[in-house]
Structure 1
């Protein structure tokens, strides 16, 4: 089979000044895409700003014969998100691919977390994903084509101590991804999420040398590139990627138990049955779950 090409496609990658985003931008550009490299230039906690990180990646891409421009706007600003999408369209004539990768950390145990530490993480991760996608969406609808790859995390999908703000944002992105996949289906827009395991500024301090070697960001980039390709059929899915492994996260529903005259005591007595994962299903939408419920009822 032939190699997968992105020739002529236009991609916007947020948080692309280093780590995973840089790898995404380099790979897409190497395969022919025009890339808008967005990075605010702040530190891992979201403090500060500067254009150096984005411009360095642009220069790397150009040195390799690729096409790229830098953007230093903040995804946490609705107007900033609008400007980066506008830059893609004005510079390259369209926007085909959006990779929502920008992120920060403000880790703290829940009992010590302030409202501002919740807000800033939600602003960058969840609202940032919403803002940039919201501005790209009309262009993709008009073109009847688009590929959006959002960034979730096992901290949200499974849970991780000290990351209630981050985990909430990352699980919120899963819900956004699922809804947008439904809304984009008839317009040729596919929306998926990746849950990466990689050595980045946000993880390198907690990794062993062996894990750091295995979790090279370059081993996640091919998965994101596949999700961003026109031939990828998936939409509404969450893909785990790291150390060369590719796997799918999914939400399953157990058969459970049903009682027409449910009581607290019956819930207690059938609790293990309700939680038994044997025979689970993966509903495509709420209507499928409701149909199953009505079938059990009758």
Structure 2
């Protein structure tokens, strides 16, 4: 009997056949072998299906959907791995060892629910031209419980292209397609990050560049920027509201292990120090918000 994969790599596509081979080749070049790659194609009318059929290890379906978020909803339902990562078509992996490194970190520390890196930006023509979060390669981002004041101070979010998360945690956080929330519909990935931190789950930054993120005119980011700005504004507002509630003592922030078990809390006597650390990060690091989108 075949063992289930340790990691599920989830992608969606619609009429982007010209980017598919580069993305898929970067996935299947990984040194770690215990993964499955899943592609949900939104009934493409270009040569996408022919490209997908050329990869025997790829699990894929092709059927109509409303948008990429609905496609990822289907992909999550198909996933069998203990861990999950996302790889939008046109993006791909620079580090051949990223899957192995991420799985090893999560295996070694049950308190962690997510590991992440800082991706590189790529032009439409394939030139690398910058790093996302370059400051973390000089001094790595705070990890574990120390990330809470950083997040409350800077509003940082993890780009979905470069984190690996426990599937059990993702399943708790991924919003239902039936949700009436505008936020949930248009930016489920940002909703995940909000729920991840308010839920008390812990992360670790790995100081490597796992992947590239290609920016191009027909990207989902460009096509939905208006929705992105609106949901990002809501994300920032909800972080600030949560931070105020924690600091005034009306909400007790709990920390959770990867299995959801409570492993600690921010106690009342710690609030003055937490207030100082939030203020430090707010003044010493860039604040992420609507003006930083794209």
Pair in the same fold by TM > 0.5 = no
TM-score by length of 1: 0.31
TM-score by length of 2: 0.31
- Structure whose residues are more often strand by fraction: 2
Higher RCO, 1 vs 2 (CA within 8 Å, ≥6 residues apart): 2
Structure label with greater radius of gyration: 1
